[in-house]
Amino acid sequence: MRIYNASPGFGAPLTENEIRHFLTNSRLNIHVGTLDRKNEPNIHPTWYYFDNIGNRFYIETSKKSRKTVNLNAKNIIYYCVDDPNPPYKGVRGKGRVKIHEDVNHNIPIAEKIMVRYLGSLDHQMAKSLMSSVRAGDSVILEVCPSYYSTWDYSKK
């Protein structure tokens, strides 16, 4: 895991264990940046699941979403997960994306995302989103980070 200090002179970078804890336990959105066919940036806030063993982000989205369309053309993604409340802390970076269309692969990952953000698969929104996953209308984006650029302003 390559870790860089995103804000030299302000706070300090997160350690590897702090990165894993932050990405695994927060319920913040991940903001992902993709490039469209005109090579213009698109930013997409979304939910995610972080596999702290494999160092991978997983994002469920529609097969027809702008993210998916852009990533089918160019599988590079930029990402940022940051706490907007002081003392500020976050993780950003760049990675490659693999798009998974296999429903059997996608269901357990999508379920983890729903439970993480909604607390239960019984939530009405979880039921609706999971029906899209089961119908094959969704994909899972697997993001393999190239590096982590981090900051923690609580560290002096």
User: Can you give 9-52 as a three-state secondary structure string?
Assistant: CCCECCCHHHHHHHHHHCCCCEEEEEECCCCCEEEEEECCEEEC
Query: d(Cα 79, Cα 82) in Å, to the nearest integer?
Result: 10
Structure tokens at 59: 């994002």
Query: d(Cα 63, Cα 149) in Å, to the nearest integer?
Result: 29
Place of tokens 């494999």: 54
Query: d(Cα 82, Cα 91) in Å, to the nearest integer?
Result: 6
Confidence of residue 91 (pLDDT cuts 50, 70, 90): very high
pLDDT by residue (tens digit) across 120-132?
Answer: 999 999 999 999 9
Higher pLDDT pick, 76 / 11: 76
Domain boundaries, the chain: 3-152
pTM above 0.85, yes or no: yes
Confidence of residue 1 (pLDDT cuts 50, 70, 90): confident
pLDDT by residue (tens digit) across 102-123?
Answer: 999 999 999 999 999 999 999 9
CATH number of this structure's domain 3-152, picked from the four choices 3.40.800.20, 3.40.50.20, 2.60.40.60, 2.30.110.10: 2.30.110.10
Evaluate if residue 134 carries a pLDDT over 80: yes
Report, as an integer, the average pLDDT of 2-22.
94
Q: Are 145 and 95 in contact (CB under 8 A)?
A: yes
Residue 21: CB atoms within 10 A of its CB come to: 13
Q: How far is CA 70 from CA 11, 33, 108, 140, in A?
A: 35, 10, 25, 14
